[in-house]
Amino acid sequence: MRLPPAAALLCVALCTGASAQQGSAATPAPAVPAPPIPTLYGQEKNGFYTAPEKRFRVAIPVLPELGGQVHDTPNVVTFDDDVSVHASIACFPLDLSQRWELETRGSRDYLAYFYASFVFSEFERRYPGAANEHSLFTAELKGGALFVFTLLPGGSSFAARSQVVPAPADAPLVAKRGTLLFVERDCIFILSLELAERITQRSTFGKTAAQENELLRERLLELVQRMQIPAPPAPARRP
């Protein structure tokens, strides 16, 4: 796993949705047709998304009737709809250096290190003023999982759906994102979703920070429960 490029891809998913956008309509068509861009790197079938190399399978949490869309890269899938969902799942196989970091640091410290180095650093770069509001390590989930709740000025996917007058440029809407990290089958999984109501209903939502964090935690757990991570293959039996 080449972590700097991986972090860049992860930021695309967490910050913008990881969609494979086409060029502007004003861009002249190339003289030679470009090869077709795949609709998905993974597979969407019967309400499930299966990641490349079948690293995981997840029940799709959006509906076409509500404008639901699925976009992906080789390592990240993002789900969006027109109402309340902006969620992503990233999966990166651990290389030898990252396995060493995990073994040396232990689960809790490794996940905190990975989040700070390769997730939050990108949030900070993309959204000046980004701040981690709270974190929670749970040893009982996935052998050790880290929840982090982050405030992102100007980082909402729902800004256009705010029910109040848009915020001025010097006081952007502040999104809240929940992120869940865990390691399974020699891969690190990073799940992220935005608390849509904080933006779309911000004049009436009225939750405390702790209540917002609990909503995000519950929704991240629901997303985990939608996932199926295949068991490792059984070792070959000796004759």
Given this model, what pLDDT does residue 167 score?
56
Do the domain assignments include residue 21?
A: no
The single-letter DSSP state of residue 150 is E
Do the domain assignments include residue 90?
A: yes
Residue 104 CA to residue 225 CA, distance in Å, equals: 29
Residue type (1 letter), 69: Q
Given this model, what pLDDT does residue 203 score?
79
Residue 89 maps to which CATH number? 3.40.1000.10
Give the mean model confidence (pLDDT) for residues 6-14: 52
Give the mean model confidence (pLDDT) for residues 64-85: 95
Do the domain assignments include residue 37?
A: no
Of 16-25, 84-93, 96-105, the range with the lowest mean pLDDT is 16-25
Give the mean model confidence (pLDDT) for residues 190-200: 96
Do the domain assignments include residue 126?
A: yes
Q: In what order do the strands lie in the sheet with 43-45?
A: 43-45, 48-50, 57-59, 227-228
Instruction: Count up the domains in the chain and report the number.
Output: 1
pLDDT digits (tens, 9 = 90+) for 124-141: 999 999 999 999 999 999
Which residue's structure tokens are 């993002």? Answer: 78
Burial class (CB in 10 A: 0-12, 13-18, 19+), 110: buried
* pTM of structure: 0.84
* Residue 89 · residue 60 · CB < 8 Å: no
Given this model, what pLDDT does residue 17 score?
45
CA dist 229 → 14, 27, 179 (Å): 21, 41, 18
Residue 239 has pLDDT above 50, yes or no: yes
Above pLDDT 90, what percent of the chain? 70
Do the domain assignments include residue 30?
A: no
Residue 92 CA to residue 210 CA, distance in Å, equals: 30
Residue 239 CA to residue 224 CA, distance in Å, equals: 39
Range of the domain at 209: 3-13+42-228
Residue 76 has pLDDT above 70, yes or no: yes
Do the domain assignments include residue 32?
A: no
Do the domain assignments include residue 26?
A: no
Name the pLDDT band for 231 (thresholds 50, 70, 90): confident
pLDDT digits (tens, 9 = 90+) for 39-68: 899 999 999 999 999 999 999 999 999 999
Do the domain assignments include residue 155?
A: yes
